[in-house]
Every structure is written in C-alpha cells, then in structure tokens.
Amino acid sequence: MKNLNLKLKGLALVAILVASLNSAFAGDTLRITPYLDTDYSVVSVFNTSGTNLKLKIYDKEGNVFYSEAIKAETNTQKLFDLSNLSDGNYELVLEGKNTRIEEPFIVRTKTLVVLNESMQLAENRN
C-alpha cells in the first residue's frame, strides 16, 4: 500500500511538471505551487532568454536561503522542502542582466500558503 501511495504521488508530480512544460508562455516566467498535501512545493522556471539566470530564495530581511544558476533557454522544475524555513514572508527571485522576476510567497506551519486559488505565476516585468 505504501508503494502505491508513493507511485501515485510520483505520478501526480509528473503530471504537474508535464502540464507546466506544455504551457505556452511568452518571456521568462517563474511559478511556485504546493505539492499535494506535503511540505514540498514545485518551482517551475521558464528561461527563454539567451543568458544564464540565478534563482534565489530570500527572506524579508534579504538573507539568501537558496541560490542556483539556471542555464539559458531551459525549462526546469525543482521540488523544494519548505519545512526547513521558519514561518514568514519570502521571495522567489529569478534574476539576470536584463531580467528580474519576483514571486513573493508565505510559509506558515512549514508549508506554502496559496495566496490565490489559481496557480501563482510571475512574468518578466522588464
């Protein structure tokens, strides 16, 4: 039974990732969504620019909790365990030379708080 639950959760994650990849977006985009009823969240990055970008997570004081390079013209998804973050306000940022995409999010009781019933999506504002 435990294996079946793990397979179903894995299948749900694959479905989310495929749906994200099949969506047509103009420009660089950044999305954060909860993953089922877990402490995890899925971060989707669509880097359509010709340059490498940095994906970072900041707290409200500007401390960096995560940083990773995102290669030019790639689409990627990351599974984040938010249970290590204290309750509070955070910001997911995708930045580069001519790009800065900010997606604020809240962690409460070690999980992502959905601010809007629809999926959260941030687009390049430059």
pLDDT at 9 (0 to 100) = 62
- Strands 88-95, 100-108: parallel, antiparallel or unpaired by DSSP? antiparallel
pLDDT digits (tens, 9 = 90+) for 22-73: 444 446 789 999 988 788 999 999 988 889 999 999 999 999 999 999 998 8
Question: For position 90, which CATH number holds?
Answer: 2.60.40.1930
Ramachandran angles phi, psi of 62, nearest 5°: 90, 5
**Domains in the chain: how many in total?**
1
Which is more confidently placed, 34 or 1?
A: 34
Q: What percent of the chain has pLDDT over 70?
A: 69
Contact of 107 with 88, CB cutoff 8 Å: yes
Distance CA 124, CA 126 (A): 6
Q: How far is CA 24 from the centre of its chain?
A: 17
In angstroms, the Cα distances linking 51 to 31, 74, 95, 102 are 19, 10, 10, 18
Q: For residue 100, give its domain range.
A: 2-123
Q: What is the CA radius of gyration of the chain?
A: 15
